[in-house]
Structure 1
C-alpha cells in the first residue's frame, strides 16, 4: 500500500484532518455538469447532428451581436440564398479547414498497400490550407485577410461580412465571433478560500521521486507540515480538483502497459481516500485513464474506489467538468481539446488558445472532427453557456496563468495545469480575489 491515512492526528469528521483546534473551512458547492452527464450515447446516429445543433444554437445568439457590430442594412442570408454576385451580405456558418496533411483513413490504407508512404507527423499545418464556410445545406470557399487560416480550427461558428464573386468564392471583409458569454456577478468573500488544481498524477508510475512528491502533497493537504499559523492557512483550502492523468500520464516517457494501469488501481483508491479524508476531492478522467476515450468522458466507475467512495467528500466527475464553488463558476478539461487545437493550427500558446475558446464560446471546437466524442443529437454540450470565473486545462507542459477580460466586463482566471508527475507542481486559486500561484513538491 503506497498511501495510508495517518492515525496520529485527531479526526472528528471526514473533512477534518487538522489539529483539534482547526476545522476545514466549507463553502457551498454545486456540480453543474449535468449537460455532460446527460449527453446521448446513441452511436447509431450520424455526427452531422452535433454540427447542426451547434449552428442552430449560435445562429440565435450571434444575430444580436451582428446588429451591434455591423449596420442593419446588410442582409443576413443562408448560403442557398446567395443570388447576386458582389452583393455585400452577412452569412453565418461553421468553419471547416481543408488540410493536406490531415490524417485520413484513405492515407492509412495507402500506407498499408505501400502506395504513398506517409511520414509520421504531430503537427498538420501546411501553407496550402484553406477555409470553407458551411451551413445545413452547402458550403462556400472563403478568402480574405480578415481570418488567418492558421489561427482558427474546424468547428468554429462565426458570421462573415462580404460578397460572393463569379467563381463562387466568398471574399471576407470582416468577421464576427460569438464572443464570451455573460458572466454572473462574483460574490464577495470576507476571507481567503483556496482551490487546489492539479493534473497528471500518473499513479501507475513507481518512480521514487514521484511517489515522494505525492506523499509531500498529501502531508501538505493534511496540515502535518508547517507551523500552526501555516496550518490555519491550509484550513482555507475548500476543494481539490484533479484534471485527468490520474492513472497514466500524458507525458510519461515510459510506455505503460495495461497491467501497470490495472495494478495502480489500489494506489489510486488509497490516495483518493487519503485526500478525501482531509478535503473535498473532484476526480476527472483523462484520455489515458480507464474511462471511455470519447468526450465528454463519464466519471470513473465507482468500483475503482472501494475506500474513497465511503467519503461524502469524494466526487467522481466528468471531463469536461463544471461546478459552482462559493458562487464562482469553475470550468475545465483534462487538456485534450487544447492539445488538438495546437496540432491543427499555428496556435502554440495554451493561454492564447484558452482565450480564443472563450471568444469562440466553445471549449472543444474540433469535436468531433479530430477529437473523438459521442454523436450528440439535440444539443452540443461543449458550448460555453456561462462565462466561468476560473477556466483551467490540465496536463500542460508547464504552469501558466493569466486573466481574460471580455468586452462586457468578464473577468476569467485562466490556469494551465502542468503534469504533476514530471513538474511536481500544482496550482492554487484564491476565490477572494482570483489570484493564482503555483506550488512545487520536490
Structure 2
C-alpha cells in the first residue's frame, strides 16, 4: 500500500472521528413456488408420471406457437410439412412435425423397477458420472412421447443437440421404413416472459441508482473440525467489514467494499460431514445383527459438530447482513426435490433472526434469516432470481457425452462450458429440473409442475459447481460465453430486445474459497477469493 493510508492498522490511537459505515438496505420478496403442503396434506401415493403430462400440457402450446412460426409453409420437394397432434398419428413417408416430451433410454441410467426387484430401494442410488456407455453409444435411444405413446427419434441432428429426459420440444421430419422418426429440425419453448424490475413490489422504477451487491456462496462444507476455521474466519471478517475495501484511499488490491452487500445467498451444501454416524461401524456384521436394537435418540449415532459450527457462523454475521439459506444435498433436509428449508430448530442461535411461524393458513413472512427451499425463486433488489444447489445441472450433464473411455467426466474448461450451456438450455426449455422425477427424486405433484418456469429470471444460478463461470443470455442472440464475461447490457426497464439473463455457476467455497458478487444495478459480476499462504510443509 502507498499513500497516506499506509500501515492503517499499525498506528497509535487517534482522536479523529470517523463517519459510521452503514450497509445498503435490502429489498427482498421471496416466492413460495416450491413450498410443499405440511402435515397430512403431503401425500406420496400418487403416480409420478402425472408430472410429465402436466409439464407437457403447460408447455406444448408455447413450443407449438414457435414451431408454427418457424415451419409454416416449409416444404421439401413440393411436399409441405403438416402438423400432427399426437406422436402415434405420424405416418411413414409424410413430412410433418409433432410436439412431445423427450425420454432417453440409456444403458447406465438407474431404473427404479430394477431397484425394487433387487430390493435395493432403502437408499438413494449412488451418483454416476454419466448415464451413457462410451464404448456403446448406439445403446442410447432418444424418444418423443405424449399421452398416446412413444416415437423413437433418429438422425445426425441429435448428435449435436443438447437433450435430456423431461424436455418439451417439437421435431420436424419424417418416419422411415424402420418406424423411426428422422429429425431435420428441433424447436424448444424458448425464454418465457421476463418481468420488469420491481414489478411485484409495486415500484415503477428506482430513481436513484443504488450501489448494492448481492453475494452468492455455496458449498461451505462445514465439518465442525479445525479445518473449517481459517476459511470461515476470513469470510466472516470480510462480511463484517473487518478487512480493507476499495473505498477512496485504499489499495487496489483490497476486496470490494463489504458494506455494499445487501444480502448473502448460501446455495446449499453448508454442511460437509454426515450428521449421522454408524455406532457399530467398527463391529462385525454378525455383532451388528445380534446386538440389541435401539429406539429414540442415540447420542453415539449423531454428530452435532457440523450444524453447531454452521449455527455459530450464521449467528455471528446475521446482526449485520440478511441471509437466504438454501438446502443442499448434504444438508439436514429431505432428499427429494424440492428440498424444504432446513428447520429453524437446527439453529438455536440464528433462529432469533427468523420470522415467527405462521398461524393456520397464513402466508410465511420472510425474516432477516430466511431458510428457503431448493430450488428457490424470489425477488432481490427488484430482480427475479431462480436458483438451485446444483443437483439439476449435475444430473442433466449425465445425459451428455462428456465422458472418456473410463467413464470419467472431467472438470476442465469443456465441462464448465457444458454446465453453462445446460443452464441456458433449461431456461429455453422453461424447465429448471427437467430430469425430475426420472433420475432426480421428486415429490409427486398432481395439480401443477413447479419446475416449469412461469417467468424468465434475471439471474439464474446453480451452486456447488467445480469452478466459477458466468455468461449472459440476450433474447434470441447466441450465448455470450467469453471467459470472464462480466458486462451485461440492456438491464434498464426500457429495453425491448428481449429477456436478459445472467447465468452464474457458483463454485464450492470449501474447495475454491470464492465469493461471487453481483451488482444490483448492472448485474455485473466480480469474485472475491479467500486464500491462505501455503508453507513448505503444507506444499509437501
Normalised by the shorter chain, which TM-score bucket?
A: 0.7 to 0.9
Per-residue displacement from partner, 1:198-226 (whole Å, max 9, x unpaired)? 00111225243x32111111111111222
2:500 corresponds to which of 388, 401, 411: 411
Counterpart-to-counterpart distance in 2, 1:37 and 1:308: 21
SS at match of 1:215: helix
In the aligned structure 1, how far is the partner of 2:190 from the partner of 2:341? 30
Output the TM-score relative to the length of structure 1. Answer: 0.86
C-alpha separation in 2, matches of 1:50 and 1:223: 47
Given that 1:23 and 1:235 are in contact with CA atoms closer than 8 Å, whether structure 2 keeps it comes out as: yes
1:306 aligns with 2:307: no
Where does residue 197 of structure 1 map in the other structure?
216
Map 1:320-359 onto structure 2 (within 5 A).
Answer: 320-346=375-401, 348=415, 349-359=418-428
Deviation (angstroms), 1:284: 0.5
Quote the Cα distance in structure 2 between the aligned partners of 1:104 and 1:200. 29
- Structure 1: how far apart are the matches of 2:507 and 2:175? 46
Q: CA RMSD in A?
A: 2.7
Q: Alpha-carbon deviations, 1:27-51, whole Å to 9, x = none?
A: 321002x120146832010111100
How big is the shift at 1:283?
0.3
Aligned ranges 1:18-417 → 2 under 5 Å: 21-32=20-31, 34-38=32-36, 41-71=42-72, 74-79=81-86, 82=89, 84-104=91-111, 122-126=129-133, 127-128=137-138, 129-148=140-159, 151-186=162-197, 190-208=209-227, 210-226=228-244, 229=248, 233-248=257-272, 258=277, 261-311=303-353, 312-346=367-401, 348=415, 349-407=418-476, 409-417=498-506
Provide the C-alpha distance between the structure 2 equivalents of 1:297 and 1:168, rounded to a whole number of angstroms: 41
Q: In terms of mean alpha carbon deviation, does 228-237 or 198-207 score higher? A: 228-237
Where does structure 1 differ by over 4 angstroms across 4 or more consecutive aligned residues?
105-113, 186-189, 227-232
Q: Which moved more, 1:99-108 or 1:278-287?
A: 99-108
Moved more, 166-175 or 223-232: 223-232
Contact 2:87 2:151 in 1 (8 A): no
SS of corresponding position for 2:310: helix
Higher relative contact order (CA 8 A, sep 6+): 1
CA distance in 1, matches of 2:221, 2:87: 51
Greater alpha carbon shift after TM alignment, 227-236 vs 304-313:
227-236
Instruction: Indicate conservation of the 8 Å contact 2:84/2:96, yes or no.
Output: yes
Q: Residues 162 and 24 from structure 1, CA distance in 2 versus in 1: closer, same or farther, beyond 3 angstroms? A: same
Report the secondary structure of 1:182's partner residue.
coil
Aligned residues of 1:393 and 1:417 also touching (Cα < 8 A):
yes
Question: 2:222–2:309: 8 Å Cα contact kept in structure 1?
Answer: yes
Q: Is the 8 A contact 1:239 1:281 kept in 2?
A: yes
Structure 1 residue 191 displacement after superposition: 2.9
Cα deviation, 1:163-205, whole Å, max 9, x if unaligned, reads 2234322221211111111223345661321000000111225
Distance 1:424 1:70 in 2: 49
Do the aligned partners of 2:224 and 2:308 also contact (CA within 8 Å) in 1? no
By how many angstroms is 1:385 displaced? Answer: 1.7
Question: SS in structure 2 opposite 1:322?
Answer: strand
Contact kept? 2:87, 2:98, Cα under 8 Å = no
405-414 or 308-317, which moves further after superposition?
405-414
**Secondary structure of 1:329 counterpart:** strand
- Where 2:26 maps in the other structure, the secondary structure is coil
Q: Are the structure 2 counterparts of residues 423 and 346 from structure 1 closer, same or farther at C-alpha, using a change threshold of 3 Å?
A: same
Structure-2 separation of matches of 1:373 and 1:360: 19
Q: Give the paired residue count.
A: 412
Which deviates more from structure 2 when the two are superposed, residues 178-187 or residues 51-60? 178-187
Q: 1:106 to 1:326 in 2, by over 3 A?
A: closer
Shift of 1:307: 1.7
Asked if the contact 2:338/2:374 (under 8 Å) is kept, the reply is: yes
